[in-house]
Structure 1
């Protein structure tokens, strides 16, 4: 199966092709074909006539002349919005749309326009292609296959969404009943991109019912880098907790409710994970699994709690929320975990240039900490 992405960028092929090649070289199924943008209506007409699995768009399509000597007068957000509208009207096939641009362009406009973020399934910087091409290529292929799966699957409501997540009926009781409730009702079918956006944004790209490997390790009290038996623990004893639903190939995640059930069964302990510090969690796991090369991470700052439950957004290290400050941003859904900056990261303004800011409700507390 060949996955073809059309990459629209106003740069000439000599400048744009290295990015296309830098992505497609990491996956045998993936082909990325560069095109310069053309006049808006002609662009839409051409895309309707072509066969492709997805789109990659540069943010600014209105800066350089194309091969016809003309500068187009629209940007990626306008094109993506029109394509999403037409897909909703079933005039074209719904496909994943990714954004690929420079850091400078993102900071100048895209990051300031939160309304446009829902148009794209993934956002990448051109600077990341060289060092992160493998991940980008895997995600693009996974997105295309996921769109095809949603399009071919039957169903219309919340149970359809939970089915895409490959949850069994017995698991529904462990999931917040509000998750996916927006898909309930009399409407027969939502556009493919709405199902994809919901799963990616509200489940796979945030902690909640599903957690990343780093969060999994933090909650088990494990330092991945120093624990040579981490992969054995993860793959042998917590393999049944791994998410196997849509998009799982590129977004490895674990069901937290299954992790807690496995912990109780494995350790035969009445103590909850949340109530133990990292050292106690590791002791229980070593005793239960006989894996001796498991070690707990040091706290970010001396004196911090080691009852780790999240990651510091600045340092990306295990953190007990008690030693953190809420991060400013879009309010989480009821089933999503809140995001935190460690006090140390907040005081040192770590991640400030990347947009990490302390929540307004925490600023008075931060001011008090600065005064100490």
Structure 2
């Protein structure tokens, strides 16, 4: 298996600060798939010139968000945040006269710094293909995703046919998805393909859905269903996404899931509730140990179709409020939902969860009705 060289720019990549980031580096290198090369931050003009000279030697760049906290070994302090440097490098990469390698950009920082600065700066979000926290408990998954990004960029450099990149007939998708890449004009840079595929398809439910949403729509409690892996492997594997970046994210084509369920059971997935879905799957397949997901306390409907952001449990969107997101979902993308019990108890709100403005009046009215009932 090839080992990829990853440049890691951090103001702690100095003799005085390296011990603070070494544990993270060691974990990212643990699987022997990546080699992390620390690079000291410093004044913008100096390090940007140095980076342009060496960028073709690397397969991806990890940027610490805060590049101006600590002076480097020469006593020079950085004078910018990661988005400024990343934007400059993207511009230089796009300049065809430079012949620079287009590679994934990844952002890391402490959660506190990301919350305070980066999350409120939506103009910077498209510069990075992946974001993670330095103190994440799942850095091995980060390693897997960095590798998938590198391999995805390599695939995009070789291929510009969307059906081949997605390993699915592009004509079966909403024709607004990735439409800017259909022009016969010169191929757009790899990072533009990557950004659109990741953020229009992979990172948010829509034509592709995630593992937990798939389980919710089938009605299955993953943790208490011993035959869940076998159900996926033996029956729903044809619906699994195998296109670009699939090595880092497990996703399923929803239209294919619908077709497989109909073929297996003779029923439309959306026309029956979770109790019937699980009953039919245990009847029509060899997977008998499948448990129905329980209702969220305070909910009544088993027509699960999404996940409650407060409780991370299956939910009927009709018993929920939409959550506010920095970017409004596109027409082919699903909203994020908060169950009514979760919203009323404000579970997760301390971490930034909010009611969507278009649902706020309904949320407020629900609270008022409950108060009025309590005074009767």
If the TM-score is normalised by the length of the shorter chain, which range does it land in? over 0.9
Residue 150 of structure 1 corresponds to which residue in structure 2?
156
Q: Per-residue CA shift, 1:60-116, capped at 9, x if unaligned?
A: 101111110011111101010011111121322111111110111112211111111
- For residue 68 of structure 1, give the secondary structure of its aligned residue in structure 2: coil
Give the TM-score taking structure 2 as reference length.
Answer: 0.92
Give me the whole-angstrom Cα distance separating, in 1, the residues matched to 2:176 and 2:182.
10
2:168 maps to what in 1? Answer: 167
Which of 44, 55, 62 is equivalent to 1:40? Answer: 44
- Which residue of the partner structure matches residue 338 of structure 1? 335
- Deviation of residue 333 (structure 1)? 1.2
Following TM superposition, by how much is the alpha carbon of 1:186 offset from its aligned partner in structure 2, in angstroms? 4.6
Q: d(CA) in 2 for partners of 1:350 and 1:193?
A: 37
Deviations 1:284-331 (CA, angstroms, capped at 9, x unpaired): 111110321011111112442111001112221111100110111211
Is 2:63 aligned against 1:57? Answer: yes
**Partners of 2:298 and 2:341 within 8 A in 1:** no
- Note if contact 2:220-2:278 (Cα within 8 Å) is conserved in structure 1: yes
**Equivalent in the alignment of 1:232:** 230
**TM-score, with structure 1 as normaliser:** 0.93
Q: In the alignment, is residue 349 of structure 1 matched against residue 357 of structure 2?
A: no
What number of residue pairs does the alignment pair up? 359
- Structure 1 gap ranges (5+): none
Q: Supply the distance in 1 between the matched residues of 2:27 and 2:33 (Cα, whole angstroms).
A: 14
- 2:113 counterpart residue number: 105
Moved more, 33-42 or 71-80: 33-42
Deviates more, 1:38-47 or 1:238-247: 38-47
**Aligned-pair RMSD on alpha carbons?**
1.4
Q: Structure 2: any 5+ residue segments left out of the alignment? A: 371-376
Say whether the 8 Å CA contact 2:178–2:197 is kept in structure 1.
no
Report the counterpart of residue 101 of structure 2 in structure 1: 93
Shift of 1:354: 2.7
**2:4 and 2:147 in contact (8 A); partners too:** yes
The correspondence of residues 247-286 of structure 1 with structure 2, limited to 5 A, is: 247-267=245-265, 269=266, 271-286=267-282
What per-residue deviation string (whole Å, max 9, x for no partner) do you get for residues 314-352 of structure 1? Answer: 221111100110111211111111211111111122222
1:318 maps onto 2:314 in alignment: yes
Structure 1 partner of 2:365: 368
Q: Between 37-46 and 75-84, report the one with greater CA deviation.
A: 37-46
Q: Counterparts of 2:237 and 2:112 in 1: how far apart (Å)?
A: 41
Are the aligned partners of 1:166 and 1:245 in contact in 2 as well (CA < 8 Å)? yes
Quick one: distance in 2 between partners of 1:277 and 1:54?
A: 45
Asked whether the equivalents of residues 321 and 338 of structure 2 are also in contact (C-alpha less than 8 Å), the reply is: yes
SS, match of residue 364 in structure 1: helix
Tell me the residue number matched to 1:212: 210
Mean Cα deviation higher: 28-37 or 44-53: 44-53
Name the residue aligned to 2:304: 308
1:121, CA displacement in angstroms? 0.5
